[in-house]
Each structure stands twice: as C-alpha cells, then as structure tokens.
A and B are shown apart, each in its own frame.
Chain A
Amino acid sequence: MFSSLNRARSLLSLIRYYSSEVLPQLTKDRYPNIKRGNYAVLTQDHLQYFVDLLGRNRVLNDPSDCETYNIDFIKSVRGYSQCVLKPQTTEEVSKILSFCDEHRLAVCPQGGNTGLVGGSVPVFDEVILSTTLMNKIISIDDISGVLVCEAGCILEELEHALGEQGLMMPLDLGAKGSCRIGGNVSTNAGGLRLIRYGNLHGNVLGVEAVKANGQIIDCLSTLKKDNTGYHLKHLFIGSEGTLGVVTKVVIHCPQKPTSLSLAFFGLESFDNILSTFKRAKKELGEILSSCEMLDAQSLNVVKTHLKLKSPIDDYPYYMVIETSGSNEQHDEEKLNRFLEGVMGDGLVMDGTVTNEPGKMRSIWDLRERITEALMYDGYLYKYDISLPIKDFYSLIPKMIERLGSDATRISGYGHIGDGNIHLNISVPKFRQDVLKKIEPYVYELTSQLKGSVSAEHGVGFRKPPYIHYSKSQNSIDLMKDLKKMMDPNNILNPYKVLPF
C-alpha cells in the first residue's frame, strides 16, 4: 500500500517535471527585446467571421487545442495564439488573408511545423493558418513526371503516391513523415537528395500563392520551360511565408530508381572524407544520389538515446553514400569497384553495403534520426551552415575549445556533398550565457569563411539578426522593399526572416 502510494507520488512529480520541461518558455519572455507589432487583438467578432467562413470544426480556439500549433518541433520557441484556422481551399485562404489584412490581424502560416528556426509558429498571438486540410493530390502525369498538389500534402504521402507511378519526389528529408510540401517549398527545404536533384528552385515548376491582401497569384505552370516575364514563383520559394501563402505547387519529379544501394563507412580523418567524396563523384558518377557525413558524437547520440545499432565499430567519422540507378548490375559493378578502391587505399577503414530495403532503412535511421535523438539531451542550439567544402568541419573543434564543459555534446553532421553542415550544441537546459558564447561567434566564423549562416533551414524567427553575415545591405534593402510592396501591412509571418 505504502509503496504503491509512493510510486504514484513519484510518478506524479515525474509527470509534473516533464510537463514543465516539455513546455518551452514563451517566446515573448525569452526574447524580451522583441516587441509585439501594432496589430489588432483577436476578438469574438473576428472569430465569428472565421467560424462562419470555415465552420466550427475548422477553427480551433481552445488554448489546449492550439498548444501544439504554438510550439515548434524542437521546442525552442512558443507563441500564444488563440486561433488556428484550417482552410481547405485557396479561396478560403484568400478570404482569411483579405479579412486579416483589412483588420490588421497578424498571420502565421504553418505546414507540418517541422521547421528548425522557429519560422512556423507564432511569436506572439498571430492567427495560425494551418494547411493541414489542404492535402489533395490534383494530378500526377507519369509521362512528363509532373505532380500538381495542394500545399498541405505530406512529403512521404506524395512519395508513396508517386511511387505507384514509378516516380519519386526530388527531395527527401528526415521529417518526411510530417513535413508538408507547402512548407518545403516556402522554406526551399534541402535534404538528402539535393546533391543529385538540386534544390526546389529548380524542381518547382509552378506555385499558386495567396498574397497578404488575399489576391491569388496563379503561377501554376506545369511546363518545364516558360520564360514569359519575371519568374514570380521564385519569390514564394524560400521566402518562408513572408511574401505569400503557398497553396498549390507543381513539382517536376524524377523517375524512381529501380536499383538502390547504401553504404556506410567508418573513417579515420576528415581529409579521408574529402578524398572519399571526390572519388565517389568520379567513380560513381551519375548514380551517386546521396553523400552524407556524421561524426562520432552524432552517431553516439542515436546509439545512446534511440538504442540504434551501428553496423561497424567506432571511428571518429562516418559516411553514408547512396547510389540509385536503373540497372542493378551496372550500379553494383561501379559500386564494387569504388568500394574496393577506397578500402584498398585505406581511405575507408571499415563499412557495410546493402541493397535490402529493411537494412537500408536501418542505416538511414542512423543519419536521419540524429535531430530527434539530440532532443533527449535537453536544449539544443542548432546551426545549419554552408561552408566551402575544405572548411566543412572546421567549426566543430573551435566550438569544442570555446565551450568546454558548458556543452553536453557538440556534434557535426550533414550533407558533405552540398557543403552543408549541421552543428548541434546540446545543453541540459537553455542558458543565456551559453547562447552568448555561441552567437554571434559562430556566425562571425561562418562569415569569415565565406559561408552561409543558414544553408537549408531558413532564417525564420531565430536568425534575422544574423542575415547580414551572409547578405549585403543592398540585398537586404531590396528584400525589405519587396516585402513592403507585397505585404504593406506586414501581416504575413511578422518578426521572421528580415531584420527589423
């Protein structure tokens, strides 16, 4: 009796402990310097308009219902929006935005809410416009490989639907099970296949978006070539919902490869990674579809927190190389020659290779689930940086030296093929002094090396003050002009992307 009571008590305190841990501090409290814009506060009348437009079920205003929409995936920021809208059509989005524009209500567009820079959640009480119910595939053309779909389609579901037609998405990322294509396009998401298929500016053929005033911009071209006037679609790709809300997209999809292999390597030095990458490009050529690296700390985090198993013994660095093509024999021959070469020359110390889907999944998990695993460490300072390839890993030793025992773990992994490293510094709990040690130091270093302070995650809420490390003042001014022209009342995703 006594022991069960005790257990219940300790369980309760555990729940309390975790629930208080789980809720991050409100953004307005953690960043007191940022002031709420001069926007209207949501009233009953506003809500009534939304309910009349969308029906009771597609307007959430219960605080507990709104909570998950207010917190980002890595629990680094939290808004306090009291209203989540779930439109199903472009017309509804248009009506919502024109109403909000007229009544000066700030809006935060949100897809799968898997962003890593706090761009997809409100900073204060912005109305959340969720694309979750705009999830219809409009058409798939198996000859031209053109997909037309609504913004709320989940990446993995698109992948499955395309797979039935022998096609695939040109992008793949760890969050594919939850992220939505509208968000991918709005943030110009990169991911694991970028090395082969390029980024979304190349793969998106058309976009339909709604401007802040509710005007629908139909650039929904399905043509591969269309040089008529300014390429407006690019304004909506990567502008993170600050210039318009993407409602539909047209994507050019490559043929799904019929032959796939995955290799996992252990290496002794970063130089050997570079040499292996160079040889992979040369010897694997067109079948190289992914080239990733992770350091020992990154592998340790998935081994420790997710209990995943490494195929090989411990090394300071690891690589994941994927090949895909249309002829198994041809690919295998190339891959084998490459493997024998890099092993024979001592670049790769140990490794494994497989073409079995189940095993490939397990190996990809080692790389793709690092972000998820890192969250078990506590609070994460995340940096997503592009660097000239020779300097790819140079930030990590510098950060280790600078932070010493302040950090639980400092790890680097990423897309070596694209010169894009994810630097993660984990601490048990958020600490302002640690943040000050990291920023702006990490951005200064990046700038000195002529890198980008945001390679694929975007600017979002967390990086506007640092955009100047990668963009000239004139460029930033032009961005501000564009913003002013397209969203004069600044209702779309305020406090994001552009420095104030």
Chain B
Amino acid sequence: MARVLVGVKRVIDYAVKIRVKPDKKGVITDGVKHSMNPFDEIAVEEAVRMKEKKLVSEIIAVSCGPTQSQEVLRTALAMGVDKGIHVEVSGPDYETLQPIHVSKILAKIAQQEHIDLIIVGKQAIDDDSNQTAQMTAAVLDWPQATFASKVEKGDKELTVTREIDGGLETIKCKIPAVISADLRLNEPRYATLPNIMKAKKKPITKITPQDLGVDISPRIKIISVDDPPVRQAGVILPDVDTLVTKLKEGGHIP
C-alpha cells in the first residue's frame, strides 16, 4: 500500500484582518491567530480518506517553519495523519523561504520516507505562490496532477479530475506522483475530541533543512509590502437626474 506525504503550512487564519508592518517589510504575525492553510487541510482530508478506504498505509505530514508550525502538525495528526515532521526554519530564514526551498525539502523527505504520493494544497493563502506542487514534481521528476477536484487511486496509477479554465479535465498519471488539492476536492473534517487526544501521543520529528542537505539561502529580497488601495466611500444621491449628471461628469456614460 502507498505511503503518502502531505505538506501543511501554518498561515494567518483566513478570518483575521491582515496588517502590514510599519517598516513595510512584511505583515504583522506576532500575536496573530494562525491556522493550517485551508488548501492543505483539503490535502490532509484527501489523504485521510484514502487511508480510510485502505488505499494508503501511512500518512506523514510535513511543515516548514518556526516552532509554532507544530500546532498545524498536531491538527493534521488529529485529523488522521500518522506522524509529523517539523522542518524548523525560523527568523529571517523563514521570511525568505520560498516554494523552491520547500519543494526541495519535500522531495528529500519523500525519498527518505519511500513516499508514493505527495499531496499539497494548490497554494497557500498567505503568499498565493501556487508553485510548490509543480516544483516538487520537477525536483523528483514525477508526474504532477494539479488543481485536483477528484482523485481516484488505482494500484499503479491515478485518475485525477482537474479544475481548468472553463471546465474540468480528467487525466491519468503513474504513481509516484504529486497532487495539488483544489477547493472542491473535499470538505475537510473537524478534528474530533477523541482524535485530538490521540494525536497528542503521535510522534513529531524535528529536523532542519541542513539535516536534509537543502540550501535555504534566500533567492529574493523583500523590497516593500503595501496595503491594497482603500476603496473610496460611496455617496448617496437624491435622485436619478443627479446620478446621470455624476456619471456624465465622471465620463462613465457619454
């Protein structure tokens, strides 16, 4: 049976309002609620469902980031993942950590752990890169099935339905492979209390990129992070005539 690796990133929770740091070199993360990247949750859910269908023997979750990344690993363990690997990257190193680095880390772990299938979220909601799955496949020279909205796993191959512009595409690819999860792939479960308790006893191994021989020296320099432009307040007009005049003034209608 297959062994699955899932990537889980710790990101600022989607319900939290993002604030830019005063020096414009990033966003404020201190004291801000984080949670698992929602697309990664979908990836975890898919792996757990495969395990429940006895298509998978073991699921390993990997998270790269500071110590707190272990919280999202715990969540993954509570959802049904078997063990966690925390690749510690913190401080300035983490600020410039990019998909190129993460994909090399994932590829290395996949080889060490004899992984057959890697599932990651299609993108993280903080940097929106949408590159990790593709790059990991390239590093390993494995096939990739990105933007998956349905995955059927056979013995040696996968049938994956992909969300593409204007419709769906169904492809087959050989295992081992890399899948990236799209929004409609599944609806992730809540970790239930008994499983949250069990998860506390599941192992999390801590390693560093150096242990894996992956160079994480920065490839980019952050020049500036800016807030999106503020939407101008609307005005209430007394009648249609004024509206028409305003629209004409603004050049919106001839």
Interface residues of A (CB under 8 A from B): 56-57, 258, 263-264, 309, 311-312, 339-340, 343, 348, 350-359, 361
Contact = CB atoms under 8 A, between A and B. Distances in A.
Q: Which of B33, B189, B194 has the most CB of A within 10 A?
A: B33
A354 B236 CA distance: 42
A358 B193 contact: no
Given A356-B13, A358-B14, A311 B238 contact: no
B192 interface: yes
B60 to A, nearest CB: 22
Contact of B33 (A263, A339, A355): A355
B190 interface: yes
B14 A351 contact: no
A258 B30 CA distance: 12
B31 interface: yes
A357 B33 contact: yes
Interface size class of B (residues with CB under 8 A): 20 to 34
Given A57-B238, A258-B31, A353-B196, A358 B190 contact: no
Given A309-B187, A356-B33, A350 B15 contact: no
B190 A359 contact: yes
A353 to B, nearest CB: 6
B13 A311 contact: no
Per DSSP, chain B at the interface is loop
A356 B190 CA distance: 11
A353 B199 CA distance: 13
A353 B193 contact: yes
A352 B189 CA distance: 10
B16 A357 contact: yes
Contacts of A309: 187
A137 to B, nearest CB: 17
Contacts of A56: 238
Q: Which of A56, A312, A355, A359 has the most CB of B within 10 A?
A: A359
B190 A352 contact: yes
A312 B13 contact: no
Interface string B173-196: 000000000000001011111101
B149 interface: no
A312 B192 contact: yes
Interface string B17-41: 0000000000000010101101000
A484 to B, nearest CB: 41
B154 to A, nearest CB: 30
A312 B191 CA distance: 9
Contact of B197 (A57, A340, A355, A361): A340
Contacts of A264: 190
Interface in B178-220: 187, 189-194, 196-197
Contacts of A340: 197
Contact of A356 (B35, B189, B192): B35
A354 B190 contact: yes
Q: Which of A312, A348, A356 has the most CB of B within 10 A?
A: A356
A339 B199 CA distance: 14
A400 B193 CA distance: 32
A348 B190 CA distance: 16
Contacts of B15: 357-358, 361
Contact of A350 (B13, B193, B236, B238): B193
Nearest to A362: B190
B187 A348 contact: no
Given A356-B33, A357-B33, A359-B35, A311 B192 contact: yes
A162 B153 CA distance: 51
A133 to B, nearest CB: 11
